[in-house]
Structure 1
Amino acid sequence: MLTIPSAQSVYLACGSTDLRKSIDGLAALVQESFGLDPFSPCLFVFCNRERNKLKILSWEHNGFWLFYRRLERGTFQWPVSSESTVSITSRELRWLLDGLSLTQRRAHPKVTAETVI
């Protein structure tokens, strides 16, 4: 089973993106429009105008991964921002993929247990 790779940062491309773009087009968008390095260990997430499709671009070792997700019903709770990109955590990306809003109240905080008794 493929899983989304862990990343240092996750960047959402605000607004809508033409998802007819392939790896090269999205990598050029990351580099030229956002001023970010597409070869960095980050995830770059793009959404279409209808908010029912996502593409995630990621560089690993010697090539790009391109993940594509299409919802059959419903939409992604895509954030609205005046910035070109928004940085979120991997956990918040999972919320977004599960249909939750990034502006929701926070989930239970992570607990680091040291002993049982």
Structure 2
Amino acid sequence: MKRMLSAPEIYLYRESVDFRKSINGLAAIIENDTNLPLGSGALFLFTNKQRDKVKVLYWDKTGFALWYKRLEKAKYKWPSKEKNDVFTQTHFELDRLLSGFTIIGHKPVKIEDFTMT
């Protein structure tokens, strides 16, 4: 987890992916669809078709790690109409995204109170 906080680059993969994919499947997407170096320590962000989940793939010097977050009552705003397959993000933008803010514009996603059952 510490490695996520000091990643040299953060890349957001534009297309939604099948969230049954784990480390090997997501790494294959990066290798096949981009020319980005997987072992650089960069973070690679992916979302599902419903845009309510995010996976973050990264290399932490001893192996790949995968981090997962699911929103309960909101959806991530994700660039979908642009031509680029991958977008570079800043640590600030990543923090905003994971804190419930959109990465497009500056409005927070609507957060409703809910009770876990």
Same structural fold, with TM-score higher than 0.5 when normalized by the shorter chain: yes
Q: Secondary structure at the match of 2:93?
A: helix
Alpha-carbon distance in structure 1 between the residues aligned to 2:59 and 2:34? 16
Alpha-carbon distance in structure 1 between the residues aligned to 2:100 and 2:16? 17
Structure with a larger share of its residues in helix = 2
1:19 aligns with 2:19: yes
| Structure 2: 5+ residue stretches without partners | 107-117
User: Which runs of structure 1 show a deviation greater than 6 angstroms over 4 or more consecutive aligned residues?
Assistant: none
Q: Which residue of 2 aligns with 1:77?
A: 77
Query: Normalization by structure 1: what TM-score?
Result: 0.81
2:58–2:65 CA contact under 8 A, matched in 1: yes
2:12–2:45 CA contact under 8 A, matched in 1: yes
2:54–2:69 CA contact under 8 A, matched in 1: yes
Identical-residue share of aligned pairs (%): 38
| Structure showing greater Rg | 1
TM-aligned CA deviation for residue 5 of structure 1? 3.1
Which amino acid is the alignment partner of residue 25 of structure 2? G
1:43–1:58 CA contact under 8 A, matched in 2: yes
| Structure 1: 5+ residue stretches without partners | 106-117
Q: Secondary structure at the match of 1:39?
A: helix
1:37 aligns with 2:37: yes
